[in-house]
Amino acid sequence: MNLNDRRRRLLFGGLVVVLAAVGVYLTVAGPGGGPDDPDPSPAATGASTGSASPPPGIEGTVDAGDFDIYRLLPFSRAEFATAADLARRFVAEYGTYRFDETPQAYTGRLSGLVTGDLQAQLERDAATPGLLEDRRRDQVVAESTATIDQVRNIEANSIVFVVTGRQQITEGGTESSDSKRYAVTVAREGGSLRVYAFQPADVGQAGDTG
């Protein structure tokens, strides 16, 4: 056997060894990986790292006996109750005043219930010279209560309540009563709820559709 034949045989034998080693490697570390390999990271696989699924909705037959409407609203039950009480307290405080108190004392009772912009507007209104003079001249004292009548509208960050305020008024020694309905908007502000605006309930009201 000459030298060239010997070289051919050695080269062939080396190729067989290399191919056998590659086959063993592919068998052990194939697409599934070895048994001790870590799971691929979300970044490597392109999987989302967000929530696995959205919050459960209402599916199937809706049972009137245990229907939870708050799952469909942008406000929880607790927020709804807080907003309703806030609207009621605001109307009651708004309609309660005395001739011998300062405008600052009057609006101070409202400061924790309303937004900053509405507070500034109420302070300007309470300091109107003609209003103060009339109340002092007739020694006007008004005490008000309020009731929630209905929910007029619900938006993503606000609720409009219709609230009735009932005043007992003493004016010039004469007692009388008065009743007014307001549309009171309660909105989220800085993580809390505040009265954002109010107006007479019949302003801009489209009326019942029934």
Phi, psi of 174 (to 5 degrees): -110, 135
Mean pLDDT of 73-92: 96
33-67: pLDDT as tens digits: 444 444 443 333 333 333 344 456 677 788 888 88
Is position 209 within any domain? Answer: no
51 or 194, which is more confident: 194
Helical spans, DSSP H, in the chain: 3-28, 42-45, 77-94, 103-108, 116-126, 129-138
Q: Which two tokens stand for residue 182?
A: 């307001």
Domain with 158 in it: 69-200
Of 69 and 38, which is predicted with more confidence? 69
170-179: Cβ within 8 A, 24+ apart: 170/139, 170/140, 170/141, 170/142, 171/138, 171/139, 171/140, 171/141, 172/138, 172/139, 173/139
Give the integer Cα–Cα distance in Å for 174 and 171. 5
Using the predicted structure, report yes or no on whether residue 139 has a pLDDT greater than 80: yes
Question: Is residue 105 included in any domain, yes or no?
Answer: yes
Q: Is the pLDDT assigned to residue 85 strictly greater than 50? A: yes
Residue 145 CB contacts under 8 Å (≥ 6 apart), including other chains: 92, 165, 166
- Given a cut of 70, whether residue 22 has pLDDT beyond it is no
pLDDT band at 127 (very low <50, low <70, confident <90, very high): very high
Q: Is 36 within the bounds of a domain?
A: no
Convert 82-97 to b/e letters by CB count within 10 Å (16 or more is b). ebbebbbbbbbbbbbb
State how many domains the chain has.
1
Percent of the chain with pLDDT over 70: 70
3-state secondary structure of 1: coil
For the record, the structure tokens of 124 come out as 């300007």
Q: Is residue 182 part of a domain?
A: yes
CATH number at residue 180: 3.10.450.230
* Alpha-carbon distance values, 180 to 14, 121, 167 (Å): 102, 20, 9
Whether residue 144 lies inside any domain: the answer is yes
Collapsing DSSP to helix, strand or coil, 154 comes out as strand
Is residue 32 one of the residues assigned to a domain? no
pLDDT computed for residue 65 by the predictor: 86
Nearest-angstrom CA–CA distance, 90 and 113: 6
Query: What pTM was estimated for this model as a whole?
Result: 0.69
Phi-psi map region of 46: left, alpha, beta (phi>0 left; psi -120 to 50 alpha):
left
Which pLDDT does position 5 carry in this prediction? 54
Q: Is 107 inside any structural domain?
A: yes
Q: Give 154: exposed, middle or buried? Use CB within 10 Å, 0-12, 13-18, 19+.
A: middle
The whole-number pLDDT of residue 9 equals 54
Would residue 133 count as lying in a domain?
yes
